[in-house]
A and B are shown apart, each in its own frame.
Chain A
């Protein structure tokens, strides 16, 4: 690792807490600015005022806002995200532990689909410039980038689940079967670790529709990136030289140009990560996928402050650290990048 890169990494790591603090503060304030009282959400609107006041006191919601904020900040510094108001005091870390594997699994397969589709169409588009294939590829990039995720989700469910009855909906695994023995909580991984191919294929089967929905919408980003870069690379001198040497066009494309054209995709991977988590929330809600995004949606609807704050801070921290890692990976892969 070069000195400048070390310095850069050090600066980014120093800035990370500041970014996370900003997220904590924004989430804390925005949550309290939205209408709705957790006591009402927990006890019901018609619960006696005395019971509501007692609950507010118990939850510390009767304290001044600044004090609540300082208490919460103190908790987060001790890596304590608090306890859910609605799940019988279950800790937010426990909730994250229960639900994050489903989100991570969905995100992982969506990313694979996004990369496969996006890179393939990007290559096809760049290698046949100004043809109908190129126009189609560009159109694909624009359309997938602009479509609302819930609409695509609903549409795919309508076609593949309701009309064609090809894929199941509403869960990660058949309801009447034992899910893979939990090791990581990631069903595909757990089933492989347990050596159960049947469970693996079932897990994949239930993942296809939601991960395809999220993947196809993210693929546009990769398609555009690959297309532009590959097109530029294909006009580079070393490619021309390779052509002059009589190397077949297919080999030039796959062995020479593509490798270089894919380097910026790593950066895009980092940028995509934030969209991926945001998209995962919407996909999970649309498909009732039991991940952290779905849990976040539920927590917002019942004003479960600690859970919403905890999940948002967790997501924020992931994005912050993922972007640092991607930057490092980028510098490592592409020697031209200097910090």
Chain B
């Protein structure tokens, strides 16, 4: 026994050695990510978050605080008078992380041979389709520093496409030219996560240094990154960024509290705990305001039939398509209570389809504040009535009861559903609320179209153009969805005038490049959506994050996150 204690004692004596190894103020940032990256190929990646925000830059970038487009690899850009030609001028002396020059040829290669190559399936390609016609831009080299993008109709969101990562032609061109047996470019299999990290050539502030599966990804400074500070010092300031892979958010929280992580995003559940520990833990809780994106409840307004059978029970369809019924539901939901109970006060009601912080958000729209009396008044006006048990009936005596679905596992949406069920019970409406597995939910919303009401959310940004949602044939026009390509067709589907009006305004808004005029157009779309309620918007939480106090230059933003400006942030002790 004595020997065992002696061994333990020896091991304990060795611990002081470990203290030397713990550099509390190392010039690095340690963050947690939920899972391993699936690829190091920026074009093929479909995941978020991904490594490419650190490793690549596009021609221009959007400042997440101001929403203004700023130069990145491009020094400047000009839009022709007819708004159909955009010319980008590259910065001088740009280099890849292997020291080779980054040229106009790389840009043309990236757009024409990668993003616009039909043989390379990628998430970006569809966003390059211009306006209603869906044509692709023509991209060509003008001279050693200028690239021309030609489009067929004016299209304001097009500038977003200039933010996509530019990839190195000198490395990847051969992988496009070389084809496999089936005629597919070899590019489809290059730069997987098994590629040695030094082979991944980048142009962003950081390059990959080490990747250990299920453990960590280490990024180190790219010595050839173009950006310098005011004194001419090479940026970024921070030597390395470490992403540790932590599958459980609860474990991430513990790791942050133990000092192992430098920052963590905060859910409402953890806010008060972390706020209390701010001083002891030497960190600051940042509030970036309402998060981008929306949460909403929607009714299935689709009046179509498949194989002669209505998608929605005609009795219920009549309720859902009754505007005052939808308004009554909107008035019947207590969104303030959602803020207080579900978001613990850390959120705010949302009134329109555009994110609250977007410059296009229409602040004049007041939304539907909780008013059960008004809700009842509207219902009675439309011929609904109450029986002795206080249940709401329609004019033909049918009890108002419908199903409400959402994706299981999303605690916020599950809590919202439970509250909506409770709120609407006060109006005499019975809701059968059931969270479903996401796949089942998607099948209902996209394929079978067999659903009555749902709670979901969309992610958002500053750009208001969302043709997927607001074009009548859009993939996410879910309240009155057209069948997917290849699916059985519908008969008798009806599109309301206001749906068409919103679509027309969306086209118009996308073609208007002047911010003020564009905002006026989107103000109108928001007014229409608020009036006709295809989506009843609910509540948006705040974007919260805790960051150790050892960093200078943190500008936490709901859109960009905490370290969006990592190239300028520095560790205080390294000043």
Residues of A near any B CB (own CB < 8 A):
35-37, 40, 42-47, 49, 51, 86-90, 95, 98-99, 116, 120, 154, 157-158, 161-162, 165, 168-172, 174-177, 197-198, 200-202, 204-205, 285-288, 290, 294-295, 297-298, 301-302
A-B contact count, CB below 8 Å? 138
**A-B residue pairs in contact (CB < 8 Å), sample of 17:** A40-B439, A44-B46, A49-B486, A86-B38, A158-B254, A161-B254, A169-B258, A171-B215, A174-B22, A175-B28, A175-B244, A197-B17, A198-B18, A285-B248, A285-B251, A288-B248, A290-B214
Nearest neighbor of A158 in chain B, beta-carbon distance: B254
Cβ contacts B37-59/A at 8 Å (1 or 0 each):
01100000011000000000000
B258 touches A290 (CB 8 A): no
B260 at interface, CB cutoff 8 A: yes
A298 touches B38 (CB 8 A): no
Task: Determine which of B17, B194, B240, B260 lies in contact with A168 in the assembled complex, contact meaning CB atoms within 8 Å.
Answer: B260
B17 touches A169 (CB 8 A): no
Nearest neighbor of B437 in chain A, beta-carbon distance: A35
Minimum CB–CB distance from B5 to chain A (whole Å) comes to: 10
Cα–Cα distance between A89 and B39 once the two chains are bound (Å) = 11
Cα–Cα distance between A201 and B192 once the two chains are bound (Å) = 35
| Interface of chain B residues 232 through 268 with chain A (CB within 8 A) | 240, 242, 244-248, 250-251, 254-255, 257-261
Q: Which residues of A contact B248 (CB under 8 A)?
A: 285-286, 288
A204 touches B260 (CB 8 A): no
Cα–Cα distance between A286 and B254 once the two chains are bound (Å) = 10
Task: Determine which of B28, B38, B437 lies in contact with A176 in the assembled complex, contact meaning CB atoms within 8 Å.
Answer: B28
Q: Which residues of B contact A168 (CB under 8 A)?
A: 22, 258, 260
Cα–Cα distance between A168 and B214 once the two chains are bound (Å) = 18
B213 touches A165 (CB 8 A): no
B439 touches A172 (CB 8 A): no
Minimum CB–CB distance from A92 to chain B (whole Å) comes to: 13
Minimum CB–CB distance from B42 to chain A (whole Å) comes to: 15
B439 touches A36 (CB 8 A): yes
A202 touches B17 (CB 8 A): yes
Q: Which residues of A contact B22 (CB under 8 A)?
A: 168, 174
B442 touches A175 (CB 8 A): no
B389 at interface, CB cutoff 8 A: no
Q: Which residues of B contact A90 (CB under 8 A)?
A: 194, 213
A51 touches B39 (CB 8 A): no
A87 touches B36 (CB 8 A): yes
B258 touches A157 (CB 8 A): yes
Cα–Cα distance between A93 and B259 once the two chains are bound (Å) = 35
Closest 9 pairs between A and B when the two form their complex, measured CB to CB? A88-B192, A201-B14, A161-B258, A290-B215, A162-B257, A288-B246, A170-B255, A205-B18, A169-B255
Nearest neighbor of A112 in chain B, beta-carbon distance: B4
Nearest neighbor of B243 in chain A, beta-carbon distance: A175
B193 at interface, CB cutoff 8 A: yes
Cα–Cα distance between A42 and B17 once the two chains are bound (Å) = 44
Nearest neighbor of B18 in chain A, beta-carbon distance: A205
Task: Determine which of B47, B192, B247, B484 lies in contact with A49 in the assembled complex, contact meaning CB atoms within 8 Å.
Answer: B484
Minimum CB–CB distance from A134 to chain B (whole Å) comes to: 19
Q: Which of A36, A87, A177 has the most CB of B within 10 A?
A: A87
Further pairs besides A171-B215, A198-B17: 14, Cβ < 8 Å: A37-B439, A88-B193, A157-B258, A161-B255, A162-B254, A162-B258, A170-B255, A174-B22, A175-B244, A176-B28, A200-B14, A290-B213, A294-B214, A294-B247
B376 at interface, CB cutoff 8 A: no
B439 touches A201 (CB 8 A): no
B240 touches A286 (CB 8 A): no
B6 at interface, CB cutoff 8 A: no
B84 at interface, CB cutoff 8 A: no
Minimum CB–CB distance from B217 to chain A (whole Å) comes to: 11
Cα–Cα distance between A177 and B36 once the two chains are bound (Å) = 21
Q: Which residues of A contact B250 (CB under 8 A)?
A: 154
A88-B254 contact, Cβ under 8 Å, with A46-B442, A294-B214? no
A301 touches B247 (CB 8 A): yes
Nearest neighbor of B245 in chain A, beta-carbon distance: A288
Minimum CB–CB distance from A67 to chain B (whole Å) comes to: 23
Nearest neighbor of A200 in chain B, beta-carbon distance: B14
A288-B14 contact, Cβ under 8 Å, with A170-B260, A198-B21, A298-B36? no
Minimum CB–CB distance from B199 to chain A (whole Å) comes to: 14
Task: Determine which of B17, B214, B218 lies in contact with A175 in the assembled complex, contact meaning CB atoms within 8 Å.
Answer: B218
Task: Determine which of B38, B213, B260 lies in contact with A169 in the assembled complex, contact meaning CB atoms within 8 Å.
Answer: B260
A45 touches B442 (CB 8 A): yes
A287 touches B251 (CB 8 A): yes
Cα–Cα distance between A165 and B19 once the two chains are bound (Å) = 12
Q: Which residues of B contact A99 (CB under 8 A)?
A: 213-214
